[in-house]
Amino acid sequence: MEETERTLSLLFPPANFETSRRIQRISEKEGVDIEAAIQDHASFDLNNYPFWQERLGHVQRVYDKTKPKRIKQWYFDRRDRVEWSTFWIAVIVFLLTLFFGIISAVTSILQVYATFKAIPTS
């Protein structure tokens, strides 16, 4: 039972706001208070979980293989800091390029319009 409590604490840390909402939904749906007996500290060493070690290892491998699919997921996924910062720098550069490109196109159109308007017609 203690190992199961530590495993739940590892998978659903009570201090995390998003996880706590998930735990509340599970508790309301199932009618069980799973947060009541969860210990505060969970070890990340899978050798401390002899019963759940294989399953936790599988969960870790699947988690490591996944990549974010939505912008919100990219924002919160900080497993690889270099990849995270590279992605957000590319997004910022793209948005700045788009912004200045639109400004450049509008000014060019206004210049062409002003030039044609200034040419005297005879």
Residues 2 and 60 in one domain: yes
CA distance 26 to 103: 50
Cβ-count burial of 30 within 10 angstroms (0-12 exposed, 13-18 middle, 19+ buried)?
A: exposed
Q: Tell me what pLDDT residue 33 has.
A: 59
Residues 49 and 85 in one domain: no
What pTM, to 2 d.p., does this model score?
A: 0.51
Range among 32-36, 65-69, 99-103 with highest mean pLDDT value: 99-103
pLDDT tens column, 72-96: 888 888 888 898 899 889 999 999 9
Say how many domains are in the chain.
2
Q: Tell me what pLDDT residue 60 has.
A: 83
Structure tokens at 99: 């912004």
Helix (H, G, I), strand (E, B) or coil at 121: coil
Q: Tell me what pLDDT residue 16 has.
A: 53
Q: Tell me what pLDDT residue 54 has.
A: 86
Q: What is the mean pLDDT of residues 3-30?
A: 69
Answer yes or no: are the C-beta atoms of 39 and 6 closer than 8 Å: yes
Among 51, 66, 81, the domain-final residue is 66
Q: Tell me what pLDDT residue 49 has.
A: 81
Residues 13 and 59 in one domain: yes
* pLDDT higher than threshold 70 for residue 57: yes
Cβ-count burial of 18 within 10 angstroms (0-12 exposed, 13-18 middle, 19+ buried)?
A: exposed
Residues 101 and 116 in one domain: yes
For residue 54, what are the domain limits? Answer: 1-66
